[in-house]
Amino acid sequence: MTSDASHSRDHASLEGESALIRAVGGIALGAAIINIIVGAGIFMLPAILATRMGSSAPIAFLAGAVVIVPVALCFAAIGSRVSTTGGPYTYVTATFGPFSGFIAGALMWICNVSSSGGVASALVSQVARAWPQFDETGWRSLFLVVVFSLLVLLNAFGVKLGARAITVLATLKLTPLFLLATLGLLFVDWTQVSWITIPSWTTLGAAMVLVMFAYSGMETALIPSGELRDPARSVPRATIAAILVVVLLYMGIQIVTQGVLGVSVGSSTAPIADTAGAIWTPGLVVLLITAGVSMTGFLMGNLLASSRLLYALGRDGYLPSAYGRVTAHYRVPLLAIISHGVIACGLALVGNFEALALISGGAICLLYLGVCLATWFAQKRDLRSGGTPMLLPGGALIPALGSLAMIAILFTLSSAEWVSIIIALLSLVVLYVLLRWLRQQRFRHQGG
């Protein structure tokens, strides 16, 4: 009897929020946010935006900064009020209830796993530029399987190791990017950069979807809130600081790539590396390596955070309870880590980065809209889970600005992109109803 009781207590200690270790501080969180945002998008967008908007492409990043700041403030505010694992999923659930929370969480996970597969596909393409054999199906598949296996292993050995790896990768990739974005300004031909010629609103709107995809990532980094020390303080500081750093970095990189490469930037398949090579010949190799490190860091952060989202869904009964359980020694949700890694690897084997960007950007705008609305109501109700929460000035003003900006961007989506998002949302609703029915049947059976 004593042994059974002890086993029951040990089993219970490995489930629920109390099983997690609050080992991540504000600096590590800020590094995680920057690391996930600066993933693969910035290595491709300078050319895409220059093709769409010409010399006025930096305006898209500037407009994106104006839009993302109120959204980041909403994340910071509600993240200081809801400190359990799940990020936007728990924010929306705590404010609007389980159905809305499930839609937000499931949609976010689909975006994350698709992004992970797309970035992994882009990573193997970068490797193939140095070793062409990785363009062959067999070598490409082997590379992807090895990469995701290593990522799963790193995450399986505890959140501390994963957080340290993310911090190291963020430092390695950000150093050359910041050097290019600052020292590169000395080589800019400013006639190639325009702040006056504004393209049509349709063109700018379409570019904004891509920019929002590039700026996205804070929602993923905030998922493991149950493993943060003092989230009421660390979430606002880390979120706001990270977004400001990323905005300055992206603006600098876009200006330097355009100002150095000129009109040829639009035809470049590796605009940042080509820019570095034009300034300093060895810079081409350095930035190609940086791109590889950046994408690997993105994949590491994506797996760390997204597996915790699966954990949260399992914890709350939307997935099998095994997903809401952590290992005895390292206290990590191993099944969630393996599941996310396997599915992302599968997508990478059959997909590519470009096909995901616009749809993912549109879905992220929907998610951001939900978070802005949740922040509005959470602050109005004074929702809090510990500590002194961040209070946004102006009442509903900042959430309203973020909400209106997201709605405006969503109106620029094409019909094909809307169809894809609507189909995904309808599929999620069906899944929610099915899981709810299964839970009711299980409870009815247990009660009988």
Band the pLDDT of 368: cuts 50, 70, 90. very high
Q: What is the mean pLDDT of residues 394-403?
A: 92
Q: If you write DSSP's letter for every residue of 135-201 in order, what string do you get?
A: GSHHHHHHHHHHHHHHHHHHHHT-HHHHHHHHHHHHHHHHHHHHHHHHHGGGG--GGG--SS----H
Q: What is the pLDDT of residues 21-72, one digit of tens each?
A: 444 555 677 777 787 788 777 888 898 898 888 889 988 888 888 888 899 8
pLDDT at 351 over 70: yes
The answer to whether 106 and 114 have CB atoms below 8 angstroms apart is no
What was the pLDDT predicted at 17? 45
Q: What is the mean pLDDT of residues 172-187?
A: 90
Q: What is the mean pLDDT of residues 66-88?
A: 82
What was the pLDDT predicted at 161? 59
CA-wise closest residue to 77 among 425, 331, 392: 392
Output DSSP code: residue 292.
H
pLDDT at 348 over 70: yes
pLDDT at 124 over 50: yes
Residue 116, amino acid? S
What was the pLDDT predicted at 24? 52
pLDDT at 162 over 80: no
What was the pLDDT predicted at 406? 93
* 425 compared with 209, residue with greater pLDDT: 209
Q: What is the mean pLDDT of residues 4-13?
A: 47
pLDDT at 256 over 90: yes
* 180 compared with 323, residue with greater pLDDT: 180
pLDDT at 356 over 50: yes
- What residue ranges define each of the domains in the chain, with the CATH number in brackets? 22-447 (1.20.1740.10)
Lowest mean pLDDT among 202-206, 211-215, 341-345: 202-206
Q: What is the pTM of this model?
A: 0.76
pLDDT at 170 over 70: no
Residue 257, amino acid? T
What was the pLDDT predicted at 228? 62
What was the pLDDT predicted at 229? 62
Q: What is the mean pLDDT of residues 269-298?
A: 87
What was the pLDDT predicted at 239? 78
Strongest mean pLDDT among 73-87, 225-239, 240-254, 427-441: 240-254
Strongest mean pLDDT among 85-99, 343-357, 390-404: 390-404
Distance CA 260, CA 40 (A): 21
* 225 compared with 68, residue with greater pLDDT: 68
Q: What is the mean pLDDT of residues 76-87?
A: 77
SS3 125: helix
* 54 compared with 13, residue with greater pLDDT: 54
SS3 396: coil
The answer to whether 272 and 124 have CB atoms below 8 angstroms apart is no
* 370 alpha-carbon distance from chain centroid: 16
pLDDT at 20 over 60: no
Band the pLDDT of 95: cuts 50, 70, 90. very high
